[in-house]
Amino acid sequence: MSRATPLVLRGNGGRELLGDALVRRGATVEQVACYVRAKPATGAEGLAEAWRAGAIDAFTVTSSEGLANLWEMLDDEGRRYLAATPVFAPHPRIAEAARRLGCREVHETAGSDAGLVAGLLAHFGAG
């Protein structure tokens, strides 16, 4: 019986931690970059409007790079709004990146979509 080769799907330039750990344990691993990690070409103008209207209660952030891109795209007003908005992050590294940018209320959740949802529900009293 042949063993299957683990396939690790990641973004271009993504971390190789999982694949490297599997190789150290003796696995043959194929890593495939299947999506592009890039800052969006459009701006974030609509976010400030939504904040002004009281339509944003929280932010979920699933990558440090995505958060950094958002921060770069925001103007000073948008950065003030983001810093004052509760941020939910599924990993300590991402939460720390939010804190370094000046986000004042950062919640670390379990490392999954379900963890993010549970964190939001608990924060807003629905969980």
Q: What is the pLDDT of residue 85?
A: 95
CA distance 120 to 127: 8
Domains present along the chain, CATH in parentheses: 1-37 (no CATH), 45-123 (3.40.50.10090)
The single-letter DSSP state of residue 68 is H
3-state helix, strand and coil shares in percent for the chain, rounded to the nearest 5: 45, 15, 40
Percentage of the chain exceeding pLDDT 90? 50
The residue ranking higher by pLDDT, 26 or 70, is 70
Is the pLDDT assigned to residue 33 strictly greater than 80? no
Whole-prediction pTM value?
A: 0.76
What mean pLDDT is predicted for residues 97-121?
93
- In sequence order, the β-bridge partners of residue 7 are 30
Q: What is the pLDDT of residues 6-25, one digit of tens each?
A: 677 777 766 677 777 777 88
Model confidence at 126, pLDDT cuts 50, 70, 90, reads confident
Percentage of the chain exceeding pLDDT 70? 92
Write the DSSP string, 69-99.
HHHHHS-HHHHHHHHHS-EEESSHHHHHHHH
The residue ranking higher by pLDDT, 88 or 45, is 88
Residue of 48, 41, 95, 38 lying closest to 75 (CA atoms)? 48
What mean pLDDT is predicted for residues 39-60?
87
